[in-house]
Amino acid sequence: MSPDLLPALRPLIAATRSPLSEYSLANLLLFRERHAYRFHETPIPHVRGITYDGEHHALPLAPLDAAACALLLGEADCIGPLGDEAPGLADAFGLRCDWRDADSDYVYDTDRMAVLAGAKAKRAQARAFEREQRPQARRLDASTVTLAEAVLEGWRGDVGRSDDDTDCHECREALRLRDVLGLEGLVVTISGDPVAFLLSGPAADGSRIVHFAKGRRAFSAAYPWMFARHAAAIGRGRINFEQDLGRPGFAQAKRAFAPVARLRKYRLRAK
pLDDT tens digits for 226-244?
999 999 999 889 999 999 9
Closest among 264, 268, 263 to 65, alpha carbons compared: 268
Q: What is the pLDDT of residue 3?
A: 81
Indicate the average pLDDT of the chain. 96
Q: What is the pLDDT of residue 128?
A: 97
Contact at 8 Å (CB) between 120 and 255?
A: no
Q: What is the pLDDT of residue 147?
A: 98
Q: What is the DSSP string of 224-266?
A: HHHHHHHHHHH-SSEEE----TT-HHHHHHHHTT--SEEE--E
Q: What is the pLDDT of residue 15?
A: 97
Reduced to 3 states (helix: H, G, I; strand: E, B; else coil), residue 179 is helix
Reduced to 3 states (helix: H, G, I; strand: E, B; else coil), residue 212 is strand
The C-alpha atoms of residue 37 and residue 50 are separated, in whole angstroms, by: 7
Contact at 8 Å (CB) between 180 and 6?
A: yes
Query: Long-range contacts: 48-52, Cβ < 8 Å, 24+?
Result: 48/75, 48/76, 51/103, 52/102, 52/103, 52/245
Helix ranges (DSSP H) in the chain: 6-16, 25-30, 66-73, 86-93, 110-114, 120-133, 145-159, 168-176, 178-181, 222-234, 248-255
The C-alpha atoms of residue 189 and residue 160 are separated, in whole angstroms, by: 23
**95 phi-psi bin (left φ>0, alpha ψ -120 to 50, beta other):** beta
pLDDT tens digits for 169-213?
999 999 999 999 999 999 999 999 999 999 999 999 999 999 999
Low-confidence ranges of the chain (pLDDT < 50): none
From the CB of residue 197, how many other CB atoms can be counted at a distance below 10 Å? 30
The C-alpha atoms of residue 268 and residue 81 are separated, in whole angstroms, by: 8
pTM (2 decimals)?
A: 0.94
Contact at 8 Å (CB) between 240 and 207?
A: yes
Reduced to 3 states (helix: H, G, I; strand: E, B; else coil), residue 45 is coil
The C-alpha atoms of residue 214 and residue 190 are separated, in whole angstroms, by: 15
